[in-house]
Amino acid sequence: GNSVTQMEGPVTLSEEAFLTINCTYTATGYPSLFWYVQYPGEGLQLLLKATKADDKGSNKGFEATYRKETTSFHLEKGSVQVSDSAVYFCALKARGGNTPLVFGKGTRLSVIA
Partner 1 sequence: DTAVSQTPKYLVTQMGNDKSIKCEQNLGHDTMYWYKQDSKKFLKIMFSYNNKELIINETVPNRFSPKSPDKAHLNLHINSLELGDSAVYFCASSSGDYSNQPQHFGDGTRLSIL
| Interaction site with partner 1 (CB under 8 A) | 31-32, 34, 36, 38, 42-46, 49, 51, 87, 89, 93-103, 105-106, 108
Instruction: State which residue, 46 or 78, has the beta carbon closest to partner 1.
Output: 46
Backbone angles phi, psi at 82, to 5 degrees: -55, -35
The residue among 70 and 97 lying less far from partner 1, judged by its C-beta, is 97
CB of 79 to partner 1, least distance (A): 25
Give the integer Cα–Cα distance in Å for 85 and 38: 9
Contacts of 13 (CB under 8 A, 6+ apart): 19, 80, 109, 110, 111, 112
Q: How far is the CB of 103 from partner 1 (least distance, A)?
A: 4
Shortest separation between residue 104's beta carbon and partner 1, angstroms: 9
Is the CB of 100 or the CB of 113 nearer to partner 1? 100
Q: Which residues of 13-38 are buried (b: 16+ CB within 10 A; e: fewer)?
A: beeeeebebbbbbebeeebbbbbbbb
- Burial label for 76, CB within 10 Å (0-12, 13-18, 19+), is middle
Residue 51 vs 72, nearer CB to partner 1: 51
Q: What's the closest the beta carbon of residue 46 comes to partner 1, in angstroms?
A: 4
